[in-house]
Structure 1
Amino acid sequence: MFWLTLDTFLTRIRPFRAGISLLLDAVLVALAWHATYLFRLGFEKWWSARPSYDTAVLAGLVLLYALMLWLWGAPRGMWRFSGFGEVKRLAGACLMAGLLGAVAVLMAHLSGVPRSVLALHPVFCLISMAMMRLGYRMLYEHMRGRISGSSVESHRALVMGAGQAGRLAVAGIQHQGWVVVGWLDDDPLKRDVRVAGIPVLGPLDQLARFVALHGITHVIVAMPSAEPAQRRRALALASSSGLNVLTVPSNTELLSGRRVEQLRHIEPEDLLGREPVQLDEGGISECLNGRTVLITGAGGSIGSELCRQVARYGPKKLVLYEQSEFALYQIEQDLTLHFPLVQLVRLMGDVKDLDHLRQTFQRFKPQVTFHAAAYKHVPLMEDENAWAAVRNNTLGTYHAALAAAESGVERFVLISTDKAVNPTNVMGASKRAAELVLSHMASVHAGTRFMAVRFGNVLGSSGSVIPKFKEQIARGGPVTVTHPDITRYFMTIPEAARLVVQAAAIGETGRVYVLDMGDPVRIVDLARDMIRLSGHRTDEVLIQFSGLRPGEKLFEELLTASETTLPTTIQRLNIACLQDSPKDDQVLRWLFELCAMGAVPDETVRRALRSLLPEFSPSLH
């Protein structure tokens, strides 16, 4: 208790460090003057032999030393880090002050002051000042060792949230060089009490005050069970402090096996957090448990998360269909580690290869298929790769759906995108065409339920702005945003994958399901949040506007003007009521013509897409 009290006291006076340091040094200059007389004249004469003007000389020397110490920057030094560099500054200041003082005394013909006192006084001053600083450092390191078990103070933290998660987190870090100064909590019943021996200092909104008062280096947000709005508020307060911000894992992460003391940096997903969706776990389990499930694009951002979500429900067999060897290896290793009882089939395959798809479906006879294989990078598909986008996203969907129908798959789910609505780019148009292909397949293959799930951007997926912003911030900027007003809908990868799995369980054939993405997010605001969360200011890492890219919209849409939605029994999962869709025979004829075209220039592909999708309005500027 004594050491914590001492630490609190030293922390409270830290803002006044320079003034206190200068005052203590001035006291030492006066004491050193008396000690020099005592050393030179002995106990008998050290007081009586002084001239009458000695007090005035001493006052002048104290002011002179204070001035020299200030000019040499000694009061601004941090005593707990005192070393040879600090001693050098003190030596320079004492030597200069001693020399000037001696010259002034001699020039004033103050012969009553012994010359030996003038010569020895700077030495006594230097020794006493250095000993005071080194003594403080020894005391401070001893105090650190008694409090945290380590004499090295690397982190001084405030913890937001004095609940069970916070206590467990603090217990896990206190003996690793961390000094937890106090808690912040909005619960009035916890005010002015101690939790785990650490004081609750005040409410969350007083963070800035206590950061300045206690010399805080880190803020820890320990509120995994709080309402999403409360958690977002705490994270926003923490990020505005300009300090390193850490958080305990969220409830979702804790359920997946992470320990509460495993602190991590704040991610943009934390700021997005919404109320968790209440899924129909029984219906999903009935749909997936004991079944064979095939996932195309199994190694991609959405595909890999779908694999994890499906594996939770105990499928009989999980067939991973992926064209990237490395991505297939990564998801296979992850699933083997976390779901060792799930039987995996790892297949290198391409959805553009109909024969291989047919062979795969006939061999493994999956009951449920999630089609996540797609090219999704808008600018990349817009220039020189239009045919590749349509061949993979549209024809690939047709191939996978046809192979599924021929083998008797019960449910086939296409992962679509908000860019399919009033598309202005080839990628979005190719996905809208894929939705129409699925509608056609639903009309001619009654034995399989074909459905699509349409949603916006997922945070952290490959090709998204999040990894790009992180790289740019790590390089020191600038962070490039295409337009100051551009907005996007965002969802976390696990949230999107869970709703896709739910759609598979309740979906009816021919339906397009739309995920409620919440409110759109301004990309420039996201960039600013990420800069602050990384511990930088927006004037340190600049934001640069680069202009809209070909095919890019300012605002994405989840529905066309003529579409409406119907609710389902699951929150944030709605049915899009599509109107004015092409006839099935028109879609089929268009598909055959597209297959016969082969590799063609981009403009030919755009004309073909416009013939099927009148709403497709290419934007090349």
Structure 2
Amino acid sequence: MQKNYFRNRIAMIFWNGDNDLQFRNLRYLPRWMVVVIDLLLVICSYHLAFLVIDDIGSNFYEVLTLLQQALFIILLYVASFFIFSTYAGLIRHSTFVDIFKIGLACATVMTVVVVVNYSSYFYYGEKLFLMPFLIVNTSLTFGAMLSFRLFVKKVYASFSHYKHKRDTVLIVGVNDDNIALAEALVTSNSRNFNFVGFVSLKKDCKQVKILGKPILKYDAKFYDRILPMKVTALIIAGSSLDLNQKNELVDKALANNLKVFSVPEITQWSDKEDVAATIKEIQIEDLLERASIQLDDSQISSYLNGKNVLITGGAGSIGSEIVRQVSRYQPECILILDQAESPLYELELELRDAFPDVSYKVILADVRRKDRLEQVFSSNKISVVFHAAAYKHVPMIEKNPKEAVGVNILGTVHLADLSMAYKIDRFVMISTDKAVNPTNVMGASKRAAEMYVQSLQQRATGKTTFITTRFGNVLGSNGSVIPYFKKQIESGGPVTVTHQDIIRYFMTIPEACQLVLQAGTMGNGGEIFVFDMGKPVKIMDLAKRMIQLSGFKPYTDIDIKIIGLRPGEKLYEELLSDSSTSMPTHHQKIMIAKDQAISYKDVLNHIIEIAAAAQQENDVFLVGKIKQLVPEYISKNSVFELLDKKVVL
């Protein structure tokens, strides 16, 4: 035990320690170093061969001095190194081909020396080299060069053990895809995973083995049975389990201190990528996903195919996904408008690679500047607008209500007015569940924008169809709770939750954007479409689960702290699919909100007053004006609560 400890400790110091060697960072031996080492081995082999032959009493020929003989043979070996490229391969990945090159180089040197030796004997009657010496020298040289490569492979593998501690894994399910995954792990000799068997959720297959590995029945005694196998993780492949099965299995695995990995469908594997590299630790998003959405692609294609489409906020998490999805419907051109320079540039690079046949225009602009927006509309024959540009962070906007007015309200007004003026076919606005009975400035500003778009549809005399879509939190969007929790967990905690009982609705970004595209095909204009957000998620449970999925224990390894509701934050979000507040459509996941539209004149007058108030240095006065337009806006946990107790003149 003590011996193993010191050996492991020394290995870790050389591999990862604070030293000048740091073998971990030495990805491969430089070619010049391989040549130098091989040269040293040739010299040592020559010297050792001389000692062996001299010890048995053989006399060397004296036509050439021993130094001259050594130089001749060594130079031949150096030449053979370059002729046969014995130094070219990565030593740690030496194969039979590399061994063959070494043997060929040694045999070639031996052949050349023998030819020179007997040529000298034929022409001059004297040999230059002793044949037993040549045989011993060639054998020692080949053995030394081969041993060097085997030694490097062994050392690298040993050190890699400390860097890549393999998980002993079982694959959940027995089907063709899972067997293909197992075969890939076995044949690739993965450094990360040691595959030991399958898990059957249905049948008991004690007598059956696949690829020489057992099939274990998943039952009440499953975790007790796998203890002797020292299993550390389970792998769930593709969609072999439904969401309920997946959640149940993950919960029990975590309770038994097992990690859970997921791997995509076999159709998504890349020929260029090691299969093991596609296996990732399961994420909370995988456990919150829902059944795939059925879209009417023909309807979506009819209003996007061959059209110029403007997407505002196009570099954001929602806007960029809309860009990706619209790209699949062969539009004439996609105009991506955003004020965030770096994300816009990064998205452009991604799109050029992912959709080389689609035409893009990347526009750096601010929706608050109507003159700049008018340049965009006048210069491009736009048919469809997806308006996703918005400020959305509740606490930040609660402190900066003027910015919400500028972007969320006036930005929408500018785009909607220009869409009507330039006879855009469809204007699709992206709103939020926080606009339902808002308790914060952000939600109220989005509700004000909704009201303007609705009222404009009533007034519109042109062909523009104004559509509003409303949904809740999306998984992985910028600033959402899941990336925030991940950062807190990575830094060692604590994970902060605002309230013990707070709940939220979640959907994935692609799902939300698919529904946005589908909603764009529906209605006569002026409707507010709301999405079925599924079941609510308790944020406290979400935090605990994410900690467990990261390999830690809540409250033991990573603490969870209650910090109190943030300014303007609701404890419970409104249920968007509530039958009392919405009506069904022909799509089961899309409903129409029962929100009464207000006349264009009234809405416009309020917005003019709000815009004027935003020019003053009085946030309370400004928020009061917003409350006049949105009477259901009742502040929660905010400095603006005082406005709900008196009338602002």
- TM over 0.5: same fold? yes
> Is residue 2:177 matched to residue 1:161?
no
**Alignment partner, residue 218 of structure 1:** 233
Deviation at 1:254, TM superposition (A): 7.1
After the TM superposition, which residues 439-478 of structure 1 pair with which residues of structure 2 at under 5 Å, given as runs?
A: 439-445=454-460, 446-478=462-494
8 Å Cα contact 2:408/2:445 also seen in 1: yes
**Alignment partner, residue 569 of structure 2:** 552
Q: Which amino acid aligns with 2:467?
A: M
**Unaligned ranges ≥5, structure 1:** 1-73, 88-140
> Is residue 2:211 matched to residue 1:196?
yes
Distance 1:181 1:568 in 2: 50
**Alignment partner, residue 176 of structure 1:** 190
Deviation at 1:306, TM superposition (A): 0.7
Deviation at 1:234, TM superposition (A): 3.0
**Alignment partner, residue 263 of structure 1:** 279
**Alignment partner, residue 587 of structure 2:** 570
> Is residue 2:636 matched to residue 1:619?
yes
**Alignment partner, residue 389 of structure 1:** 404
After the TM superposition, which residues 266-305 of structure 1 pair with which residues of structure 2 at under 5 Å, given as runs?
A: 266-305=282-321
8 Å Cα contact 1:192/1:201 also seen in 2: no
Deviation at 1:190, TM superposition (A): 5.2
Q: 1:313-343 CA distances to partner (integer Å, 9 max, x unpaired)?
A: 1111111001001111121122112111110
Q: Which amino acid aligns with 1:511?
A: E
> Is residue 2:201 matched to residue 1:186?
yes
Deviation at 1:237, TM superposition (A): 3.2
After the TM superposition, which residues 72-87 of structure 1 pair with which residues of structure 2 at under 5 Å, given as runs?
A: 84=7
Distance 2:273 2:517 in 1: 23
Deviation at 1:575, TM superposition (A): 1.0
**Alignment partner, residue 536 of structure 2:** 520
TM-score by length of 2: 0.70
After the TM superposition, which residues 74-153 of structure 1 pair with which residues of structure 2 at under 5 Å, given as runs?
A: 84=7
After the TM superposition, which residues 406-445 of structure 1 pair with which residues of structure 2 at under 5 Å, given as runs?
A: 406-445=421-460
Residues 205 and 269 from structure 1, CA distance in 2 versus in 1: closer, same or farther, beyond 3 angstroms? farther
Distance 2:578 2:295 in 1: 29
Specify the SS of the correspondent of 1:337: helix
Deviation at 1:260, TM superposition (A): 6.7
Residues 260 and 417 from structure 1, CA distance in 2 versus in 1: closer, same or farther, beyond 3 angstroms? farther
Residues 331 and 258 from structure 1, CA distance in 2 versus in 1: closer, same or farther, beyond 3 angstroms? farther
Q: Which amino acid aligns with 1:356?
A: R
Distance 2:614 2:164 in 1: 67
**Alignment partner, residue 346 of structure 1:** 362
Q: 1:274-310 CA distances to partner (integer Å, 9 max, x unpaired)?
A: 1111111111122212111110000101001111111
After the TM superposition, which residues 600-619 of structure 1 pair with which residues of structure 2 at under 5 Å, given as runs?
A: 600=616, 601-619=618-636
8 Å Cα contact 2:584/2:592 also seen in 1: yes
Q: Which amino acid aligns with 1:498?
A: Q
Q: 1:191-239 CA distances to partner (integer Å, 9 max, x unpaired)?
A: 6422333211122765533453311223211142433322333333333
Distance 1:206 1:339 in 2: 50
Deviation at 1:598, TM superposition (A): 3.9
Deviation at 1:599, TM superposition (A): 2.7
Identity %: 41
8 Å Cα contact 2:613/2:625 also seen in 1: no
8 Å Cα contact 1:207/1:237 also seen in 2: no
8 Å Cα contact 2:311/2:388 also seen in 1: yes
8 Å Cα contact 1:242/1:536 also seen in 2: no
Deviation at 1:82, TM superposition (A): 7.0
8 Å Cα contact 1:183/1:201 also seen in 2: yes
Q: 1:256-280 CA distances to partner (integer Å, 9 max, x unpaired)?
A: x999751122222111121111111
After the TM superposition, which residues 499-514 of structure 1 pair with which residues of structure 2 at under 5 Å, given as runs?
A: 499-514=515-530
Residues 310 and 528 from structure 1, CA distance in 2 versus in 1: closer, same or farther, beyond 3 angstroms? same
Residues 561 and 260 from structure 1, CA distance in 2 versus in 1: closer, same or farther, beyond 3 angstroms? same
Distance 2:232 2:501 in 1: 34
Specify the SS of the correspondent of 1:477: coil
Relative contact order, CA 8 A, sep 6+: which one is greater?
A: 1
Distance 1:253 1:397 in 2: 39
Q: Which amino acid aligns with 1:176?
A: S
**Alignment partner, residue 400 of structure 1:** 415
Distance 1:605 1:86 in 2: 65
Deviation at 1:419, TM superposition (A): 0.4
Residues 166 and 85 from structure 1, CA distance in 2 versus in 1: closer, same or farther, beyond 3 angstroms? closer
Of the three residues 538, 543, 563, the one matched with 2:560 is: 543
Greater CA deviation, 456-465 or 552-561? 552-561
Deviation at 1:170, TM superposition (A): 2.7
Specify the SS of the correspondent of 2:521: helix
Distance 1:212 1:542 in 2: 29
8 Å Cα contact 2:404/2:441 also seen in 1: yes
Q: 1:144-198 CA distances to partner (integer Å, 9 max, x unpaired)?
A: x9xxx99986221121122233233333333122211111121317564223332
Specify the SS of the correspondent of 1:183: strand
Specify the SS of the correspondent of 1:506: coil
**Alignment partner, residue 248 of structure 2:** 233
Specify the SS of the correspondent of 1:188: coil
**Alignment partner, residue 549 of structure 2:** 533
Residues 235 and 285 from structure 1, CA distance in 2 versus in 1: closer, same or farther, beyond 3 angstroms? farther
8 Å Cα contact 1:420/1:429 also seen in 2: yes
8 Å Cα contact 1:249/1:258 also seen in 2: no
Q: Which amino acid aligns with 1:186?
A: L
Residues 363 and 507 from structure 1, CA distance in 2 versus in 1: closer, same or farther, beyond 3 angstroms? farther
Residues 309 and 167 from structure 1, CA distance in 2 versus in 1: closer, same or farther, beyond 3 angstroms? same
Q: 1:40-82 CA distances to partner (integer Å, 9 max, x unpaired)?
A: xxxxxxxxxxxxxxxxxxxxxxxxxxxxxxxxxx5xx8x9x67
Residues 86 and 484 from structure 1, CA distance in 2 versus in 1: closer, same or farther, beyond 3 angstroms? closer
8 Å Cα contact 2:613/2:621 also seen in 1: no
Q: Which amino acid aligns with 1:363?
A: S
Specify the SS of the correspondent of 2:334: strand
Q: 1:2-40 CA distances to partner (integer Å, 9 max, x unpaired)?
A: xxxxxxxxxxxxxxxxxxxxxxxxxxxxxxxxxxxxxxx
Deviation at 1:367, TM superposition (A): 1.1
**Alignment partner, residue 332 of structure 2:** 316
Distance 1:552 1:207 in 2: 44
Distance 2:505 2:564 in 1: 19
**Alignment partner, residue 356 of structure 1:** 372
**Alignment partner, residue 134 of structure 2:** none
Specify the SS of the correspondent of 1:505: coil
Q: Which amino acid aligns with 1:464?
A: S
8 Å Cα contact 1:452/1:512 also seen in 2: yes
Q: Which amino acid aligns with 2:184?
A: G
Distance 2:214 2:498 in 1: 47
Residues 250 and 613 from structure 1, CA distance in 2 versus in 1: closer, same or farther, beyond 3 angstroms? farther
Of the three residues 613, 631, 638, the one matched with 1:597 is: 613
**Alignment partner, residue 351 of structure 2:** 335
Specify the SS of the correspondent of 2:386: strand
Distance 1:352 1:359 in 2: 13
**Alignment partner, residue 484 of structure 1:** 500
Q: Which amino acid aligns with 1:426?
A: V
Greater CA deviation, 236-245 or 215-224? 236-245
Deviation at 1:614, TM superposition (A): 0.9
Residues 305 and 210 from structure 1, CA distance in 2 versus in 1: closer, same or farther, beyond 3 angstroms? farther
**Unaligned ranges ≥5, structure 2:** 11-152, 639-649
Distance 1:604 1:328 in 2: 36
Residues 158 and 351 from structure 1, CA distance in 2 versus in 1: closer, same or farther, beyond 3 angstroms? same
Specify the SS of the correspondent of 1:350: coil
